[in-house]
Amino acid sequence: MAITEAIENYLETILILSKAQPDVHAIDICSYLGYSRPTVSIILKKMRDENLVNVNSDNHITLTDTGRKIAERIYDRHNVLSAFFMLLGVKKDQALEDACKVEHDLSEETFAVLKQHYIELAKAE
């Protein structure tokens, strides 16, 4: 399975939920993303098959090392981009929405330059 934007969103969601609560279940993902249970179940099965997540006997979902690496990459992009957009004067809701749109498509090079620029601007404030 290719790591699509949708898969990245699921992995990022699992990471975010795991930071906020002790256990993550499919229903938590459904609620967070606004997707149906069957849709989430299908994607979770694919992600299990690709060794991106584990689901234990209590149906607790955890990220594998590979899944965590991808999730943390996207989560970092989301946080940096939304903070950068807000620093530039974009309202919070719009900055968060726009970060979601571009976090998946930026090259590593462009993101690294934007991140460094954001760090320099944030220090200056």
Residues composing the chain: 125
CA dist 97 and 117 (Å) reads 21
Place of tokens 């807000």: 86
3-state secondary structure of 24: coil
pLDDT per residue as tens, the chain (125 positions): 578 999 999 999 999 999 999 999 999 999 999 999 999 999 999 999 999 999 999 999 999 999 999 999 999 999 999 999 999 999 999 999 999 999 999 999 999 999 999 898 888 87
Domains of the chain from N-terminus onward: 5-69 (1.10.10.10), 73-124 (1.10.60)
